[in-house]
Structure 1
């Protein structure tokens, strides 16, 4: 069976969308990874989104509060890691300081977002209430594994006993949680933990052994349902080097075909979710921002799998 390719015309339309509509940070990431652009431009755009406390804002279109959040700070550190920087980078060091200050000992985890007054535009799932933290399971699966991975990469001055404890908690939780309870975003956290070389090999491998079961429990395999929200093949496998590519290759290859078939007329890939009528004045701008994020992501994935003609 021949594999579909994104045509040169399709690529050009996607590039035009990114250059015209994507936010400055996403545009800089695109230039760096797909057009050999300068990484300093990416760092400049990141620095513009770093608050005085070292945390980041403005990197999640579904949560537009100006306060620092672990959610945005983790995304910033993922970008910094992709640039090849380490704990000596001042931007990363300040971000780690924010993460350490945000730790909640009784949860042995981190809140994804801070308590807020619901004034700034946000998706319904970020609407704050007294039950918010509990509704997220006190963050046992998301974001704890991702924070642990980031601390191993950038936390050269972190108390080793603390880092060891958090690592052990991640491994213990991964070993006992029911696979069906590990939804899309939580799975991505465990993938990050188990594929980060800085994490000790024994811990990585223990979590890695659980990943196929996590994926099998929630993976949407019917192409007719890929227009909805849920764990889709390229959420679990974003490059051929992924340890999950071999067991799920059939679905990944189909999903790549699906992406090529469903590129929008404007050249973008759109989010498969909405704010369900809340903040109607803000959602159109958020949707365009998400299109920029997703179009850069899809172009990188298609390129990684050799699907760009």
Structure 2
């Protein structure tokens, strides 16, 4: 089964009529030989003067000020655009992350307490007693991912050795099965570890074992908020592709059938009645993000007519 030309056109039409300019420019870049500079400039519009990303880049919290979590999203896109380590977007973002690192707790706090002052999904609410939001239930998210960006862009960081060792230690402590976001944060760290090391081998081995439990292989549950095969292996270059080959084929067919008649792919979550008017806006933004992501995976697996 392949995505038909009509369904491709519907997805493209949705992106250019409803999605954010960022996803529009990224679509142009990835599919129509569009300007990389235009895409980078759109990304920069989400970056604050302190170097961190905010301004609702992550649609589920409407925080304009910077946060480590939004900065990881910005760096995902920057890395995907293959920006070099000396690009201002990169140097400013890493400088921000260095400035907000909590050296006593050896963590980055995913979001600041100010998140409670703006509309946000309930899982992002900052618990003042615990000192973190609901998403930050383990060390992995976002710390493992952030360490990966220092490996990719700033290997001379003095604390990188300490952080990398801790990443391996924390992975060994995580309860099994690994949660979706813990797995994804470690898979991004794995991707950005350029040199062979015991830590890289350990992370690959641990994730290769965990992937079969973390990823939901039941198509009847793929409309729920679960880790799906394409989350772990969005394209065939993923180290987990061979582990999930059959399941990926099933999901690709499932996603082609699940495309909304208006061209988008719907997020598998909502804000459960919180800030309902703001959720309507965030939902459309997520549709644009999901649609671009799905088109890229379908293209990578040669599932478009």
Mark yes or no: TM-score above 0.5: yes
Could you tell me which runs of 5 or more consecutive residues in structure 1 were left unpaired when the two chains were aligned. none
CA separation in 1, counterparts of 2:210 and 2:237? 19
Structure 2 residue 111 is matched with structure 1 residue 109? no
Secondary structure, aligned partner of 2:113? coil
- Runs of 4 or more, structure 1, over 6 Å off, are none
* Residue of structure 2 in register with 1:153 after alignment: 152
Distance 1:188 1:138 in 2: 14
Contiguous gaps of at least 5 residues in structure 2: none
Map 1:139-178 → 2, pairs under 5 A: 139-159=138-158, 162-178=159-175
State the Cα distance separating 1:157 from its structure 2 match.
4.7
1:1-309 residue pairs with structure 2 within 5 A? 4-57=1-54, 58-116=56-114, 118-130=116-128, 131=130, 133=132, 135-136=134-135, 139-159=138-158, 162-180=159-177, 182-198=178-194, 200-309=196-305
Tell me the alpha carbon deviations over residues 114-162 of structure 1, each in whole angstroms, 9 at most, x when there is no partner.
Answer: 1115232110101122135275556511111110110111225522xx1
Aligned partners of 1:117 and 1:230: how far apart in 2?
25
How many angstroms apart in 1 are the aligned matches of 2:162 and 2:272? 40
Q: TM-score, normalised by structure 2?
A: 0.95
Describe the shift of the 1:299–1:136 C-alpha distance in structure 2 as closer, same or farther (beyond 3 A): closer
TM-score normalised by the chain length of structure 1: 0.93
Could you tell me how far apart the structure 1 residues matched to 2:155 and 2:229 are?
34
Q: Displacement of 1:84 after TM fit?
A: 1.9
CA distance in structure 2 between the partners assigned to 1:138 and 1:292 by the alignment = 28
Q: CA deviation at 1:201?
A: 3.9
8 Å Cα contact 2:111/2:132 also seen in 1: no
The whole-number CA distance in structure 2 between the counterparts of 1:169 and 1:178 is 16
Q: Distance in 1 between matches of 2:288 and 2:58?
A: 12
* d(CA) in 1 for partners of 2:193, 2:182: 19
Shift of the 100–200 alpha-carbon distance from structure 1 to 2, 3 Å rule, reads: farther
| 1:218-262 deviation per Cα after TM superposition (whole angstroms, max 9, x unaligned) | 321111111111111111111111111111111111011110000
Root mean square deviation of aligned Cα: 1.6
Alpha carbons 2:69, 2:110 under 8 Å: kept: yes
Q: Mean alpha-carbon deviation: is it higher for 59-68 or for 74-83?
A: 74-83
The whole-number CA distance in structure 1 between the counterparts of 2:219 and 2:53 is: 36
Equivalent-residue separation in structure 2 for 1:55 and 1:200 (angstroms): 30
Mean alpha-carbon deviation: is it higher for 206-215 or for 170-179? Answer: 170-179
